[in-house]
Structure 1
Amino acid sequence: MTAKELFYFNLCGPDLDKSKVFYKKVLGWEIGGGSMGGHVNNTTTPCGIGPKSVKPEVYFCTDNLDAAIAVVEQNGGKVLSRSVFEGIGPAASCQDNQGTHFALQEPATEEMKKHAANVKKGCRHGDLFFFSLPVAEEEKARAFYGAVLGWEFGVKGKEGGLGIQNLKGPDGGLGIGREGDIPSFWFRVDDVVKTVDLVKESGGTAGEVFDAPEGTMCEVTDDQGVKIGLAQPAPGY
């Protein structure tokens, strides 16, 4: 089974105008367009900020939404809602067999199908570096995401991370034992210390800068309470 790749992701932003100012300064995002006016126009992996979003969302490609939904339900997951995005195609918001949120997207237009078939990893300031889905139990998560999304996993890291091994696009993984039911996102930055300063200047807060095998990193919170991660990648990442 071919691994289903990340197609699109959404951050929540209660006040879209504030989000535009914050993420322009911190990550260099140019935000505007889309059905809610929050599409980011200059990232390698398409993304957006939903002014009415309650929770962040990650959409993974599928070439047959009905068939994918059947596999979700057969493996203990749930479909919370279905919708059709104009110019993109039908989608479904789901929960896995442990309550974690994710979504499926069937690209319906030739342009969207081309995008889905040619996913790329971003390498610029502001691009997505890594996404993570929190799950409680490792074996249940391995079985579910292997069946539903075709993901293959490596050995669990000492911090509980379980990396997905067969993605062509942005790297991702599962956070074993992590609290919550929504995805977390880490973004590439050219200089993590300088970017943390920009976060604080823009009304956000930041944790401690730390070093990891993947690079120099820091968890931050924007000026509306949305948490993201910053990563200055190590060579090879």
Structure 2
Amino acid sequence: MEIPELPTILLALIGFLASYLSMQCFTDPNSNTTASSTVQDRITRFTNPNFLLVNRIIVLAIGLIHALLILNPTTPNYLLCPKPSNLNLSLFTWTRHSSICLLLILIFAPLRLLAFAQLGENFTFKLDRPQNLVTSGVYAYVQHPSYTALAVVVSAHWMLFQRSDGVAGCWMSEAVARSQWWSLVGWGSVAGALSLVRKRVVDEERMLKETFGRQWEDWHRRTKRFVPGVI
């Protein structure tokens, strides 16, 4: 194997960094906190620590394999990619598509982590009544920045790392890799995740209104839910 050129090495490092940041988006910042006033919500099963752990392992493993394939996409180790003929090599080089996907992750994953930090102990994956209503920082402009960021990260990660002509294709037959079913499954999963976010937002806003009353109503009225000044 030839020594990769510097731009190739840089792409591999950035690709792995993007997957690491994506993994962090599924890491509960207060997983060790014992909630004293947990509110029942409709997506509790999807915030289970074991479910989240599996998601983090998958995301990081795919990112690592993707990074290694960038360094040698045409003749990879068989254990790394048994079906290299299924790979779309443009996903493993600097292209407009790969650059946009990586840029979106590198912008929005840190935004979600910033939302974690600014809520502090109030941010939990299981719906819980916060001690105070945070309306400063990024929350001065939008009510649910972490959900907006997560939606973008999940979509961008799928479009680059989880396509049937990407890492996932390494373990598919050619017929399956060339079919449309994987795309349908993938985008169906993304749509399902967005539906779960919508349910969480409804439950969360109901809880916040009950907890903070007029204070929440005033903040809710002067800010948008997901995109500042838009929606």
**TM above 0.5:** no
| Structure possessing the higher radius of gyration over alpha carbons | 2
TM-score (norm 2): 0.28
More helix by share: 2
TM-score (norm 1): 0.28
Higher relative contact order at CA 8 Å, sep ≥6: structure 1 or structure 2? 2
More strand by share: 1
